[in-house]
Structure 1
Amino acid sequence: MSAAGAVTTGRPGRAERPAAGRERLRAWAAVAVVCAALFLIGLDFTVLNVAIPGLRADLGTSLAQTQWIVDGYALTLGGCVLAAGTLGDTYGRRRAFVAGLAVCALASVAGATGDGAGQLIAARCGMGVGAALFMPATLSTVVHVLPGAADRRRAISLWAAVAGVGALAGPVVGGRLVLLYEWRAAFWLNVPVAVLVAAAALLLVPESRNPAPERLDRPGAVLSCAGLLTLVWGIIEAPGRGWTDGAVLAAFAASAVLLGGFAARQLCSAAPMLPPALLRRGPVGLATLSLALMSFAMFGAMFVLTLYLQQVRGLDAWAAGVRTIPFSVGLAVGAGAAPPLARRCGARVPVTAGLLLITSGFAVLAGLRPGAGEAPVLLFQALAGFGSGLVAPVATEVVMSAVPAANAGVGSALNDATRQVGSTLGVAVLGSVLAEVSTGELPPGSAAALVLSGGGPDLAGAGPDLAEAVRQAETAFVHGMTAAAWTGGAVALLAAVFAWRRMPRRQRPAAAPVTPAPARGLVPGPER
């Protein structure tokens, strides 16, 4: 049979099969491109953490300035991602993706050449804005190029694994860069990667957008950005200032008012940024809550564990980063196991099992004692990493399956925003519990308290009492870490209970084009 005959008879012939294979290959090439950008996002969250000592020594920044150099990225990314997802749906996701990479590259150059705290803070905030532009486009592009349910599940599992591994790889990559070069290398790293990924996107990633875009809800965009920025600012500042500090309480109150105004705007707007119908679609609300609580536990635990490895075990940045590799391996393995488990048992089983594994990991960490070896740390990472890998892709698939393809950027941004707020809150809360308990056990100004805070000139005269001070500081830190672990475990266990009661028993297929009322802003139908 000729190739033409194969087409005209309606039966799949040899000409059609290679064409379909090439289209599928191009689709997976596009997935690889957006996942490379996603890895860069995760890397930038943590790559600078281990470079702080060299940065402070070079520029003479204060502790508060250093905190904002690190946290400015998370602040702007978490605050702007929801509005950025709508921009991608409206004006083109590839366009937003490439523009975001360009902004990130330019901001990284500004950071690498910066000679003051103000320039570095502005650079990190600029990097966050760039990441907010292209992060929603990563997941929405996956949904666009892979319409088949099986391929989409595999790609979302890959997306979830890359998102976690990128952040966990930050200390490893950052530690190596600092060891070989200096802190500026953490900024320069972004430039060639962003340029190469943007060029690959122009070649391999197809453009997609909402086929019937509404006018951008500018008041909604302003309210969402202001509300999320204020909320994330309060979360970041609370550990240092205190949770009852006036500025922190004012930030939380302002964020409640702004986000309440955003919710009211979405209910009455003819073209809402976050359609209320989306949150009412099945278990979307619970799936986003599971992602937020999983991020709370994972990032909070890794923050505490990194401090333990460096302050108690005395490891340098590179050695501490290498010790966190088992977490990344466990997460990748869990993400690979999640889709078949979800197909067989539904979303409820892998999400609940993952959260219970995270709870078990925290129980192991809570049992850590001073002088413990490697085994408890490795076991915690294996359990928590594998559990996080089970939760992330399945909960993400639940969210994206409820979103019409035309609004994929909104669904992706909702997924990203909840994970970002959860991770920031996890670092803040577990870090505060650790600090409160550990410092509360030691007399202020004592040698042990100085050891716990990183030492100082007063330790030079400690003499033979220094060994005892180190022992007391280690004991206090481990007690604080135990309290933080029980807190994280309680959060994970509560999430597991909710997931078992409310998550679907069977994985639902991708959303059919259910037509909601136009006033709710969900636009189903094919994309262009």
Structure 2
Amino acid sequence: MTRRRAWAAVAVVCAALFLIGLDFTVLNVAIPDLRADLGPTLAETQWIVDGYALALGGCVLAAGALGDRYGRRRAFVTGLAVCALASVLGCTGDSPAQLVAARCGMGVGAALFMPATLSTIVYVLPDPVDRRRAIGIWAAVAGVGALFGPVVGGWLVHHYDWRAAFWMNVPVAAVVLLAALPAVPESRAPHREPLDWPGALLSSTGLLALVWAVIEAPGRGWTSAQVLGAFGAAALLITGFAVRQIRCAAPMLPVGLLRRDPVWPATLVLALMSFAMFGAMFLLTLYLQQVRGLSAWSAGLRMVPLSLGLAIGAVLGPVLARRLGARVPVADGLLLITAGFVQLAGLGADSGDPPVLLFEAVSGLGAGLLAPVATELVMSAVPAGSAGVGSALNDATRQVGSTLGVAVLGSVLATAVAEGPDPRTAFVAGLADAAVVGGTVALLAAALAWYRLPGRGPADARSPADRPSLAVRPSVK
């Protein structure tokens, strides 16, 4: 494989990743028009929005294992096709139930192709320098897509209607799918073992129960019987999955991988970063709209500078890791996120744009510094034949972290608003309380990164025996 084709494959999979980010948030600003048209209840509205995250978070680990065994490009194009078909179901839907089904279908499609994005990058770029650069791009795109969702959604709703948020996926997914056929090479584990179907079922149901509980907790109450029951079921199912992987002759997720340094600390750091950043983005969007009275379009535009910080940090992070060690950009990035939360806690009801933009610049730079370095640490420790599962592990922990961040910080904010006599004053107080929680999480993650991550740059931890043969991986020129 030529170097040009390798980078063409990177461009294609990153385009698909951008679509995933858009789909997380593009529908948020279309909800008022959607409710006026179809009249869903509040509970139905929540599931129209959250069905995507539920299906993606629940299925991604099993989908990564499927890609390793049956072909990552096959999983990639199948996922894109499922996402496009589900989007057609959504944009032609005339009932809330149909939209919930469409969003869940889109999430299943995204779960199929999301692990293939990162595992394809690892496959086509065996050179560590090129791979780190590409993972930096991947990490930046993963965050930027979600940030642009409200901007794109606001523009579509303004010029068309809420159905355009679904129609948008169809041509984009079709173009990316057609581009993937010549650009993305097929890859799979060199020694294909049968899929551990009981393990796949346990992981999917366990993650589905966990994500459902996190999504429902703010509305039903963290101590409600349904939420506690779902958390308990998730704990039992995930424990059963772990036991199954220990005893299974061909495990879907090698448990020994999770015991390695730096896999478990890097994975946990990524989850905590997602908790802090997605929670902060949720809080800031509400602040701009409910306290400052901005439209969804205007609020979305003010989130764009955060993407610039992400992009700059994603370039600098791997450079710092090579020179100073992985712990430096990861821990420093988390300290910058902590500083951003200090800035967020100081926002008042009449604060203008400068303090908001300062928060975005500082926290965005911090997230950009750490995300590619921590991701590279995880992927470097994963055997080449399990790259899809390694990517899915990275995706699943980020998804759970981001969902938990929105739920926990949103609950802290909602508690303060419910108890305050003046809505705007109570909101600002709740924002400060939530920022303290988010900043504390980021600070604890920084300490974990400093003490558990390596003090030198992330190296390619795979032995030659772990790599595919030349018959499986074409050389890159």
Q: TM-score range by the shorter chain?
A: over 0.9
Give aligned pairs, total.
Answer: 471
Q: Does 1:485 align with 2:435?
A: yes
Looking at CA atoms only, which structure, 1 or 2, has the larger radius of gyration? 1
SS at match of 1:215: coil
Conservation of the 8 A alpha-carbon contact between 1:168 and 1:325: yes
SS at match of 2:194: coil
Match of 1:305 among 279, 284, 306: 284
Conservation of the 8 A alpha-carbon contact between 1:54 and 1:183: yes
Q: Which residue of 1 aligns with 2:363?
A: 384
In the alignment, structure 2 segments of 5+ residues that lack a partner are: none
* TM superposition score normalised by structure 2: 0.98
Aligned-pair identity (%): 71
Q: Does 1:68 align with 2:41?
A: no
Q: Which residue of 1 aligns with 2:134?
A: 155
Q: Which residue of 2 aligns with 1:504?
A: 454
Deviations 1:146-177 (A, max 9, x none): 00000000000000000000011101111111
What is the root-mean-square deviation of aligned Cα atoms in Å? Answer: 1.0
Superposition map of 1:92-491 within 5 A:
92-442=71-421, 472-491=422-441
Q: Which residue of 2 aligns with 1:58?
A: 37
SS at match of 2:2: helix
C-alpha separation in 2, matches of 1:238 and 1:144: 39
Conservation of the 8 A alpha-carbon contact between 1:404 and 1:525: no
Conservation of the 8 A alpha-carbon contact between 2:335 and 2:442: yes
C-alpha separation in 2, matches of 1:411 and 1:513: 16
In the alignment, structure 1 segments of 5+ residues that lack a partner are: 1-21, 443-471, 516-522
Match of 2:65 among 86, 98, 106: 86
Conservation of the 8 A alpha-carbon contact between 2:321 and 2:457: yes
C-alpha separation in 2, matches of 1:344 and 1:438: 46
CA shift at 1:525, angstroms?
3.8
C-alpha separation in 2, matches of 1:383 and 1:58: 40
Q: Which residue of 1 aligns with 2:445?
A: 495
SS at match of 1:315: coil
Conservation of the 8 A alpha-carbon contact between 2:321 and 2:458: no
* Aligned amino acid, residue 116 of structure 2: A
Conservation of the 8 A alpha-carbon contact between 2:417 and 2:427: yes
- Which runs of at least 4 in structure 1 moved beyond 6 Å after TM superposition? none
SS at match of 2:151: helix
C-alpha separation in 2, matches of 1:513 and 1:283: 16
Conservation of the 8 A alpha-carbon contact between 1:109 and 1:187: yes
Conservation of the 8 A alpha-carbon contact between 2:189 and 2:468: no
CA shift at 1:524, angstroms?
4.8
Conservation of the 8 A alpha-carbon contact between 1:434 and 1:481: yes
* Aligned amino acid, residue 254 of structure 1: A
* TM superposition score normalised by structure 1: 0.88
Match of 2:16 among 27, 31, 37: 37
* Aligned amino acid, residue 490 of structure 1: T
Q: Are residues 87 and 106 of structure 1, via their aligned partners in 2, closer, same or farther at CA, if it must alter by over 3 Å?
A: same
C-alpha separation in 2, matches of 1:437 and 1:255: 29
C-alpha separation in 1, matches of 2:103 and 2:149: 15
Deviations 1:435-488 (A, max 9, x none): 00121123xxxxxxxxxxxxxxxxxxxxxxxxxxxxx22111000111011110
Q: Which residue of 2 aligns with 1:450?
A: none
* Aligned amino acid, residue 352 of structure 1: A
